[in-house]
Structure 1
């Protein structure tokens, strides 16, 4: 009997969540397409590129709304069980509330595993394609993504500075490279313009000047135009904000370590992305427990009351998640605390609601 009930609830859990995704994703695509169709037609974007963009958009959209859609789907079908007095029948047959919760936890485990794979591998690749398409076809010349005042340590001896760098044209202004031996400056390269030449992986410098500092004199070299190879990568000049979202987990770890060595100011943002890959699967269990505890009670107002309560809790969860995430990105607030604090708070809420539901 219990196995039949387990399968019944588990199938409803997974089916309702899938239906919620299939319902909201086309809505998101339609809204986005209505907003972007003008620029897509204007720039005559090839259909395969558009199709790939909306595939990437779908994965990004699902990853973004994952917790909320899961939460609402559990409230929806559990409220229907409560309104049909099916939950009362289960519990009246001698099934404990903890036992009744077991198929929900099995379903949450399946969804959490999917969320983990999505966050670690699928979403980064989709985010990269999504952002590349957006900045290639959908941004106007005024909206070209630029990085400003880049000052970075490349290795133990070299430091670079660029006042701004245009990621579309791969061109920067007021470039400087300083090479030190210990605390002593050995030489300094400067140029009014630096441009990355993708065909042969070289850098083209305009108004190139190299000042080599000796023990007793200085040697100055200058050329109107100079092509050379540097030890740093193009990414060192283009630390775009979304770069962490485009890296798979192992790549992200290596990237963060590299940025720490260079003294990057964006470490908080990168670590928020890293920790969220693990916090999202955990939130699946927490939100499932809250949703079951809230919606398993048959209320006078019916399903609408349960949905109203659920939406309110979901919005508070999103508010906490966004506020603490921004704090970690733009201040010295600990990224790991910022990411896990909403889960801790709502985990305590889940235990409290579960205890009352058992009564």
Structure 2
């Protein structure tokens, strides 16, 4: 409802078809369900276990000789089922939903947004050619200060440069075109005010859309990362962070399960409200850690594996400590 209230005017303005809107909210549901699945699990465990504790049922269970670890077994079974669902959704189902979700927003909601990339962009498009643009505007498919260098082994054969390159009507239009062919004794220079030509690369090779990793399943994402490594892409950390986050999601379900049981298994004077308050606080701190290290991995060269592992390790240690205290 919040998303509808924020975007309904843009959908009407862009004349989005009703069928696409319905598909968008189907993808929307899968996209956010995957993000929030561990926290739904977390809060539901706190709610359920707090009810048991307030009714003194946990004391009765443990007093009958059942160990605390045996008491945890049903929770682990439930967490395992949720982890399996989260794993397969995150690896194979949600990427397709994310593609539909993001494409709809780009076409109908963010259509008039200024999307100029101001950073220098390099890309090795194949074994022999490297392209460069100072900045790129996806809305009009234009790259500024364009350069293409063609090599034969380690030897440059020719270099093409232009003030800007634009993809229009299936051809590339270059303004202030200059081609310098390297000769044995002297170079051959060709100049044209405007030149229309064809290239083997796509405009997306200059700068992939920001959500490209979200739209690929596990197999496609692994291949995409290897391809981007060969090209020398500057976004490798972002793609690797996305991959590691998917692998860590099932582990997150187990850690949050342990924390939720440990926090809510004791009967408190404040009742369920205190447990839920603590649970929401822990969830927000976890999200904060996750976002901070995610930005570090994507923007500062921080190792993506560490960016994913540190929040898991910190909250894993917290879970062990809380469970030990709960057993006592």
TM superposition score normalised by structure 2: 0.93
Residue in structure 1 matched with residue 266 of structure 2 by the alignment: 297
Q: How much has 1:345 moved relative to structure 2?
A: 1.3
Does 1:328 find its partner at 2:302? no
1:57, CA displacement in angstroms?
Answer: 1.3
User: Which stretch of structure 1 is more off in the superposition, 54-63 or 84-93?
Assistant: 84-93
CA distance in 1 between partners of 2:172 and 2:178 (Å): 14
C-alpha contact (below 8 Å) 1:147/1:238 kept by paired residues: no
Q: Which residue of 2 aligns with 1:4?
A: none
| Aligned pair partner of 1:67 in 30, 34, 38 | 38
- Shift of residue 225, structure 1, vs aligned partner: 4.7
Moved more, 225-234 or 123-132: 225-234
Structure 1 contact 147–240 (Cα < 8 Å) conserved: no
| Equivalent residues of 1:147, 1:239 under 8 A apart | no
Alpha-carbon distance between aligned partners in 2 of 1:168 and 1:73, rounded to the nearest angstrom: 43
Mapping 1:273-284, distance limit 5 Å: 273-284=242-253
**Aligned to 1:99, what secondary structure does the other structure show?**
helix
8 A Cα contact 2:132 2:148, kept in partner: yes
Question: Which of 133, 139, 155 is the equivalent residue of 2:126?
Answer: 155
Question: What residue in structure 1 maps to residue 255 of structure 2?
Answer: 286
Mapped partners of 1:306, 1:117: distance in 2: 31
1:211 is matched with which residue? 180
Unaligned runs of 5+ in 1: 1-29
Which residue does the alignment assign to 1:78? 49
Q: Relative to structure 2, which stretch is displaced further, 153-162 or 73-82?
A: 153-162
Pairing partner for 1:106 from 77, 81, 93: 77
Answering whether residue 128 of structure 2 is matched by residue 128 of structure 1, we say no
Which moves more between the two structures, 130-139 or 290-299?
130-139
Contact 2:116 2:135 survives alignment (8 Å): no
The total of aligned residue pairs comes to 328
**What is the root-mean-square deviation in Å for CA atoms of aligned residues?**
2.0
Compare 221-230 and 279-288 and name the one that shifted more.
221-230
Give 1:332 deviation, angstroms: 2.2
| Separation (CA, whole Å) in 2 of partners of 1:318 and 1:67 | 11
Structure 2 gap segments, 5+ residues each: none
**Match for residue 52 of structure 1?**
23
**Quick one: distance in 2 between partners of 1:58 and 1:142?**
24
Q: Once structures 1 and 2 are overlaid, which stretch shifts more, 81-90 or 291-300?
A: 81-90
Cα 1:115/1:164, change in 2 over 3 Å: same
**Per-residue deviation at 1:79?**
0.5
| Cα distance between partner residues in 2 of 1:346 and 1:150 | 37
Residue range with higher mean Cα deviation, 203-212 or 298-307: 203-212
- Once residues 129 and 165 of structure 1 are traced to their aligned partners in structure 2, the CA distance between those partners, rounded to angstroms, is 24
Following TM superposition, the consecutive aligned residue runs of length 4 or more in structure 1 with deviations greater than 6 angstroms are: none
Equivalent position SS for 2:301 = coil
Show CA shifts across 1:168-208 (max 9, x none): 332323321011234432101123332335x75x5343443
Q: Is 1:247 aligned with 2:210?
A: no
Instruction: Please tell me whether the aligned partners of residues 244 and 252 of structure 1 are also in contact (alpha carbons under 8 angstroms).
Output: yes
